[in-house]
Amino acid sequence: MKEVRLIKAAPAFTEVITLSAKKPFRVNQLIEKNIKWLFPLPTGLFIFLMMIFPVLYTFYVSLTDWDMISGGRISFIGLDNYVNLLKEPRFFNSIKLTLYFTIMAVGIEVVLGVAIALILNRDFRGKNLVKLILLLPMVATPVAIGLAWTLFYEPTIGLGNYALKLLGLPASQWLGSSKMVIPSLALVDIWEWTPMITLIVLAGLASLPQEAFEAALVDGATPLQIIRDVTLPLLRPTILIALVLRCIDALKTFDIIYVMTTGGPGFASETLNIYAYNLSFNYFRFGAASAALVALFTLVLACNLLVLWMRKTYEL
């Protein structure tokens, strides 16, 4: 870049013009030198503000005695909230119910999702219409789903007991029984999220190499043998991804349970997420609620690390 030179009578003015001429060059050089940091910067800020910062702030609040009943005074108390949670039977009951709900719902969803995907992977008339109908539960809002299924489970006029009556079976309390409430809630989750497993597995089926299936047909394998010995082994990574995603969602399910039972009857459906909500907005113990949420975060992380460890150890 050429410098702008003026007469000696105005050295200060010459310096100003020279610096202004070099400034764009220096900015461009700075951008080019740090271009690898500038492009991911917005994404990094978004991740920090929307994901990392809330987790860190929740952990900080869990180390305080923030209690709205005492006037909002905040004091640092260390790990006292965690110690108190370990003495609380409702906390362990909520963990047990969370795992019970997750294992039941996700286990059935994976089995049904894989089976439906294998059926939809074949060519038949009306295949696209079936796929469209299958997607409908996923596009509905969880609150609307919860209200609709609450009417379905209504003991006197609900379609659930009416169907049981047609089959000659006794009526069920569904959401009113401490033994039936978690299976009833799991059924709603299965109805809503099995299509997600199906879509993920269908995408995995579309990417499988055809050479393995052609070789199996040449060897005289039956359709059942092809599914058992070729399709499912090749689908293991895809199924594992679907399993991890659904475990994350199921462990922190809140909306359906809160709309349908609010944790009842009694504490029979009070999962860890519902327990933390009750601590926050019913008892105003935000420090203890934050500790419960940190425990939930740890539980979700531990479960998914366990799945990944099992895949690596047993080569799933």
Give me the residue spans of the domains in the chain. 1-34, 80-314
Q: Which helix (H) or strand (E) holds 27?
A: helix 11-33
For residues 145-168, average pLDDT: 92
Distance of CA 159 to the CA centre of its chain: 30
Structure confidence at residue 53 (pLDDT): 93
Question: 157 pLDDT band (50/70/90 cuts)?
Answer: confident
**φ/ψ bin of 5: left (φ > 0), alpha (ψ from -120 to 50), beta (otherwise):** beta
Structure confidence at residue 89 (pLDDT): 93
* 225 φ/ψ angles, rounded to the nearest 5 degrees: -65, -35
Structure confidence at residue 15 (pLDDT): 46
Structure confidence at residue 314 (pLDDT): 67
Q: Answer whether residue 23 shows pLDDT above 80.
A: no
Q: Answer whether residue 30 shows pLDDT above 90.
A: no
Separation between Cα atoms, residue 30 and residue 35, nearest integer Å: 8
Residues with Cβ within 8 Å of 210's Cβ and at least 6 positions away in sequence, in order, are none
Question: 19 pLDDT band (50/70/90 cuts)?
Answer: very low
- 171-197 pLDDT, tens digit per residue, is 899 999 999 999 999 999 999 999 999
Structure confidence at residue 72 (pLDDT): 63
Separation between Cα atoms, residue 265 and residue 181, nearest integer Å: 8
Q: Answer whether residue 21 shows pLDDT above 60.
A: no
Question: 71 pLDDT band (50/70/90 cuts)?
Answer: low
Percent of the chain's residues with pLDDT above 90? 50
Q: Answer whether residue 29 shows pLDDT above 80.
A: no
Do 183 and 100 contact (CB within 8 A), yes or no? Answer: no
Q: Answer whether residue 308 shows pLDDT above 90.
A: no
Question: 7 pLDDT band (50/70/90 cuts)?
Answer: very low
Question: 295 pLDDT band (50/70/90 cuts)?
Answer: very high
- 165-174 pLDDT, tens digit per residue, is 999 999 899 9
Least confident range from 63-72, 222-231, 246-255: namely: 63-72
Q: What is the mean pLDDT of the chain?
A: 86
For residues 38-50, average pLDDT: 88
Structure confidence at residue 13 (pLDDT): 45
Contacts by residues 170-178 (CB-CB < 8 Å, ≥ 24 positions apart):
175/150, 175/260, 175/261, 175/264, 175/265, 176/265, 177/265, 178/265, 178/266, 178/268
- 75-127 pLDDT, tens digit per residue, is 889 899 999 999 999 999 999 999 999 999 999 999 999 999 999 888 888 88
| Class of the domain covering 80-314 | mainly alpha
Structure confidence at residue 61 (pLDDT): 92
Q: Answer whether residue 33 shows pLDDT above 50.
A: yes
Separation between Cα atoms, residue 103 and residue 95, nearest integer Å: 12
CA distances from 223 to 1, 170, 230 (A): 73, 40, 10
User: Tokens at residue 94, please?
Assistant: 């909520």
